[in-house]
Chains A and B, each alone.
Chain A
Amino acid sequence: MSNSLDLPLAGPRRVRRTSPVLLLLSLRTLIALFVVLAFFSATAPNFLALETLILLAKHVSINAFLAIGMTFVVITGGIDLSVGSIVGLSGMVAGGLLDRGVPLSWFHVTLFPDVPVVIVVAVAVGVLVGALNGVLVTWLSVAPFIATLGTLYIARGAALLISGGETFPNLVGRAEYHNMGFPILGAGTVLGIPVSVVALVVVSAIAAYIAARTPFGRQVYAVGGNERAALLSGVPVNRVKLTVYMISGACAAFAGLIVASELVSAHPASGETFELNAIAATVLGGTSLAGGRGTIWGTIIGAFVIGILGDGLVMLGVSSFWQMVIKGAVIIAAVVLDQLQRRMQRRMAIQAQAA
């Protein structure tokens, strides 16, 4: 079924009728991935070393989490600009809970929740901001761009308010409070693989499954493709939209926890402009901003292309100014190629018909 949803990783049935050029085009994100990998492994010393690649995956995982949530939103035809601020907010919530706890002034005690509780609360805050986005977009009919622009400021403001703009440093917890272990998220490993990378594999697999195989996933595509037709087919359009923003909020909050855990501190400004990277990865992965088209795997590959480009250029010593120019060019090229592929697919189908 998934191959009818414009999967960049073409399945065998899709490949059958296509020309070599079209095949190359439809695999462009994957090819781009290999090209950047090959380029930097040739030019940057030690690029293909296991440690470098693991570090790379770790860097990518943060943007990839954001981009997974973003993909769901964009497929419905929306956009979520608030994810960067949610990264900051969830980190600050976690930092506050670990560093200062919950002061219960009536009882003159301060409650220090365990790390799992901290994680759940921080993610819940992200879901809450997402729910706010969803309510604004659906029942209050605010355009997604504006609604999430508003929550971008609100969430960032909230993150700053939590500490008065201060950083929560040294989030290692204390043995006597039973709240140690937060750094595991950012620094821990499972069989040598960072926890955040393992989490990325798990989350992206679940997300891809949801998108391709569940009724909810299909409804996400339908809402983005033709909202009115979806509504008349019994798709609960508002609920679907609300859910995608909540998913996006949850993904962003989780990314925020990883950032805070890696730094072992929570800074209220962390995550600024992350939303743009997430949108870039989503678009690079073949998701249409007009809605109705896109895949999770495409987005993951898109996130890796951007990540490798960034890390590789740093390793080569390219100035950060040039990095921005190159990143922008790659994003535009991706969209141009996407249009080219659509046009070509059409022409091929015609020729196949005429033959």
Chain B
Amino acid sequence: MSVAASAAAPDAVVLRAEQIGKAYPGTIALHAVDFAVRRGAVNVLVGENGAGKSTLMKILAGVEQPDSGRLWLDGRGVSFASVNDAASHGIGIVFQELNLCPNLSVAENIFLGHPSVRLGIDIDTGDHAAKARALMRRLEHAIEPDALVGDLRIAQQQIVEIAKALAQDARILIMDEPTSALSATEVEILFRVIAELKAAGVAIVYISHRLEELVRIGDTVTVLRDGRLQARAEMRDVDIPWLIQQMVGTIEAPATQAATRSDAAPLLALERVTLRNPHGGFLVDGVTLAVAPGEVVGLYGLLGAGRSELFEVIIGAQPDAEGSVRLAGQELAGLPIAARIRRGVALVPEDRQREGLVQSLSVAANLTLASLWQYLRGLAIDGARERGAVARTIRELLIKVSSPDVEVTALSGGNQQKVVIGKALLTRPRLLLLDEPGRGIDVGAKAEVFRTMRRLGADGLGVMFATSDLKEVMAVADRIVVMAGGRVTGDFLRHDATEERLVACANQGAAASAGMIG
């Protein structure tokens, strides 16, 4: 099954991991994995959710210590006690789950671990701001150095995270899903930066679920499966079907399309929905839109297009929104979130750590949190009924968990995402809103999520999902609505949509708003 690495010059390997093993509560993340990082190359690491990619990266970056195995840097055995320790050896990392302090500014975050100081104590804020601005220019983003990170959208935070790693002049730069929250234009900018770094001799370790990306920029590829080394190859020798084959074992058929039903009476009707930006302008600007029952609508757009905000207006998390939101003819505007959920709206938020999960609760308690009213007997929760619903959801969504009483943090990213989706489905929604449902999850889990969305559509639910992935929106949606600068700039039935038209609509007025909307 595995393909031997083609003989690269041994001196080109700057960092080598040997027989690395690591276990967590709930999973064995790594099982005697070998991994070599070559200088001046993009070393790609792929695998399904829970395959162990992120864990391996955390070990390379000193975030976690391996239970077994060794690391060799420039031929010498090393072990990293901390991120700082690894950083002092020239290893930088861009985390998948963002590791920024929301209460600090962009510049403060970038230079948190290595501030420039005058006289050894006084932080040189001017120098920080200048350097941060230069980094932002290099990344072609208009993010102010003194903006609070907590005020930025998640994609902008990711840019800051990348800038943070760049600021350290790392020889080995690890990027864990750096593009998962970025739009196509932003990805292009990032790739240019990567090419520059590569030319400068930096070793890049690159993890992504976007296979077409990997094939484009990768030099070598290592495939992990279930915590084991599955295959290694030169990227020029392989293609996407081979990668999928190695990752999943079998090649998934693309999601099938149901007939469109947009002629039915609308399930969701938005009329002139508007949300003002407290810093001026509009986050959502006069959106009028209808979704029919059984329709799967893809909401495509770039960063800051207003998709997440539109979802927040529909679920009721933006009480200052104006305009009319009707579900099956019933006005929702003014109702609190709980009432809207009871009437059949459910949201799977974009950021599962910050908005989707209660980390201190079990998988079971997380699943039923939004639908507790369904398990009532008198004033109390009927334990048997709750456990039944939990077991059914775990089975239907194929959530990998040893027991529903395990704390939800013990699960891998993809399984956590399924818990958030399960929580939404247990409310028995008529309209399901999913914000970037494929973000940071692997091919297999993604296919499962999209199949579930199609199935729900076939069952008569209205499904709306936001994505910045063209392939995703083309493959899954019956109808594609494009947003830019808070406005709807395109509305296509799938068979009328082409990638070119979608991109053109998404860029309408986007240049003006890119990086501005917080």
Binding site for B on A (CB under 8 A): 1, 3-5, 13, 209, 213-215, 218-219, 221-222, 224-226, 228-236, 288, 291-293, 345-346, 349-351, 353-354
Contact = CB atoms under 8 A, between A and B. Distances in A.
Contacts of B386: 1
B369 interface: yes
A4 B25 contact: no
A275 B372 CA distance: 33
A243 to B, nearest CB: 14
B360 A213 contact: no
B355 A228 contact: yes
B405 interface: yes
A222 B358 contact: yes
Given A218-B369, A231-B317, A233-B341, 20 more contacts: A4-B407, A209-B380, A219-B372, A221-B358, A221-B361, A222-B365, A222-B369, A225-B360, A225-B361, A230-B369, A232-B315, A232-B347, A233-B370, A234-B340, A236-B338, A288-B360, A291-B360, A292-B361, A345-B25, A353-B23
Contacts of B518: none
B360 A229 contact: no
Given A4-B362, A4-B365, A229-B354, A353 B338 contact: no
Contacts of B347: 232
A149 B453 CA distance: 50
Interface string B341-362: 1100001010000111111111
B364 interface: yes
B23 A350 contact: yes
Contacts of A226: 354, 357-360
23 contacts: A1-B364, A4-B405, A5-B362, A214-B380, A215-B373, A221-B358, A221-B360, A221-B361, A224-B360, A225-B360, A229-B356, A229-B357, A230-B369, A231-B317, A231-B337, A288-B360, A292-B360, A292-B361, A293-B360, A349-B26, A349-B410, A350-B23, A353-B27
Given A1-B383, A349-B26, A229 B358 contact: yes
Contact of B423 (A213, A224, A233, A236): A233
A91 to B, nearest CB: 31
In order of increasing CB-CB distance, the 8 nearest A-B pairs are: A349-B25, A292-B360, A4-B362, A225-B358, A234-B338, A233-B370, A215-B372, A225-B360
B358 A346 contact: no
A288 B405 CA distance: 19
A288 B359 CA distance: 13
Contacts of B365: 1, 4-5, 218, 221-222
Nearest to A223: B358
A346 B387 CA distance: 24
A232 B25 contact: no
A222 B359 CA distance: 9
Contacts of A4: 361-362, 364-365, 404-405, 407
A75 to B, nearest CB: 10
B357 A213 contact: no
B376 interface: yes
A348 to B, nearest CB: 8
Given A214-B379, A353-B27, A233 B360 contact: no
B358 to A, nearest CB: 4
Contacts of A218: 365, 368-369, 372, 381
- DSSP class of A's interface residues: helix, strand, loop or mixed? helix
Q: Which of B364, B368, B405 counts the most chain A CB atoms within 10 A?
A: B405
Given A215-B376, A221-B365, A1 B359 contact: no
Given A232-B317, A232-B349, A354 B338 contact: no
A214 B381 CA distance: 5
A213 B369 contact: no
Interface in B407-461: 407, 410, 423, 427
Contacts of A232: 315, 317, 337, 347, 349, 355-356
Contacts of B317: 231-232
Interface string B71-107: 0000000000000000000000000000000000000
A345 B28 CA distance: 16
B359 A236 contact: no
A349 B31 CA distance: 17
A349 B27 CA distance: 9
Contacts of B360: 221, 224-226, 288, 291-293
A328 B339 CA distance: 46
A350 B24 contact: yes
A1 B364 CA distance: 8
Contacts of B336: 236
Contacts of A1: 364-365, 381, 383, 386-387
Contacts of B404: 4
B385 to A, nearest CB: 11
Nearest to A233: B370
Contact of B380 (A5, A213, A224, A229): A213
A212 to B, nearest CB: 9
A84 to B, nearest CB: 28
A282 to B, nearest CB: 16
B382 to A, nearest CB: 9
Contacts of B28: 353-354
A287 to B, nearest CB: 12
B361 A222 contact: yes
A5 to B, nearest CB: 8
Nearest to B377: A213
Nearest to B25: A349
Nearest to B68: A354
B514 to A, nearest CB: 26
B405 A3 contact: yes
Nearest to B360: A292
Contact of A292 (B337, B341, B358): B358
Contacts of A229: 349, 354-358, 369
Contacts of A3: 405
Nearest to A347: B25
Contacts of B372: 215, 218-219
B384 to A, nearest CB: 10
A292 B24 CA distance: 22
A236 B340 CA distance: 12
Nearest to B345: A234
A110 B356 CA distance: 58
A28 B222 CA distance: 47
A230 B358 contact: yes
A215 B381 contact: yes
Contact of B23 (A13, A233, A235, A354): A354
A3 B357 CA distance: 19
Nearest to B427: A234
